[in-house]
Amino acid sequence: MRNDLAAPLDPACAVELHDVHKYFGDHHVLKGVSLRIMKGEVVVILGPSGGGKSTLLRTINHLEKPDRGWVKINGGLMGYRRDGDRLVELSDRETAAQRRHIGMVFQQFNLFSHMTALQNVMAAPIKVLKTEKEKAAADARRLLALVGLPEKENAYPEHLSGGQQQRVAIARALAMHPKVLLFDEPTSALDPEMVAEVLSVMLDLSKAGMTMVVVTHEIGFARVAAHRAVFVENGEIVEEAPPETFFANPASARTRQFLGKVLHG
C-alpha cells in the first residue's frame, strides 16, 4: 500500500484507505486499515458485530473522521487538503460538497415522513444540486422505476413496506449521481421476505458497474455480487479475497471459524 500522499493518481482506483485509525475514547476501533477499491468493483465487508465494519464504512465519506491515516476518493483526499507534508481539515461545508459524490444507504431508511416517495428522491437534487424541479422529478421517476416502484411515487413512507422504503432510499442515494455507493447493513432491519427485493436492486446496480462498498451479513449476495470479500474483526482486516476463494478456501483460521458459524449455524 502506498504511503505517499503525492503518489501518482491511479485513474482506476475509486476509494483508497491508508493506515486508517479511529478511536472512540480509549477504544481503538480501527487499527491501521488499508484498502483499495477499484472503479466498478463491489466489495462486501463481513465480520462479527462490533468489529469495526460500520466505522470503516463511515470513514470513507468522513462521517467518522480518521484519527490517523487518510482516505482518497477518485484520487482526492476526503475531508482534508494537503499543505506541504501536513493534512489540514476542510470546513464542514467543503466536506459536505465532497460527500455529494458518495451515496450512502443506512440500516434505517431515514425517509422524510412528510414527503412522498417522489419528493424524497427529488429533495437533495433540488436543494443541493440546484436541479430544476421538472428535471429532478423526471430523474426521480426514472430511479423509482429502476428500483421497481414506479407506481409508488405518491405514496408516503408510512404506506410503504420496509423493503419498499429501503428501495426508495436507494433511489434517493442514486439521485445525486454518486461515484461510490456505500451500504451499511441495508437489509438488517427488514423482515426476511423483504430482503430479497432490496438485494435484487443492489445486484442490478452491481451488474451496471456501480462502485459499491457493502457492509452486510447476506452471504448469498456476497457470493453472487462481490468482486471481493473482506473480513474485518477487532478493527483490522483479517482476510480479503475474491468470493470464490474467500468462501471455498479461506486462508485464515478465524475466517473459517466465522464462516462456519454463519453458513452452518
Residues 6+ apart with CB under 8 A from 24: none
Cβ–Cβ < 8 Å for 180, 211: yes
Q: How far is CA 124 from CA 55, 56, 121, 175, 186, in A?
A: 24, 25, 7, 8, 20
Q: How far apart are CA 148 and CA 27, in angstroms?
A: 42
Q: Kindly report, residue by residue over 40-72, the tens digit of the pLDDT.
A: 999 999 999 999 999 999 999 999 999 999 999
Could you list the pLDDT tens digit for every one of the 265 residues in the chain?
Answer: 345 666 667 889 999 999 999 999 999 999 999 999 999 999 999 999 999 999 999 999 999 999 999 999 999 999 999 988 888 999 999 999 999 999 999 999 999 999 999 999 999 999 999 999 999 999 999 999 999 999 999 999 999 999 999 999 999 999 999 999 999 999 998 998 899 999 999 999 999 999 999 999 999 999 999 999 999 999 999 999 999 999 999 999 999 999 998 877 5
Q: How far apart are CA 24 and CA 98, in angstroms?
A: 24
Residues 6+ apart with CB under 8 A from 50: none
Cβ–Cβ < 8 Å for 220, 249: no
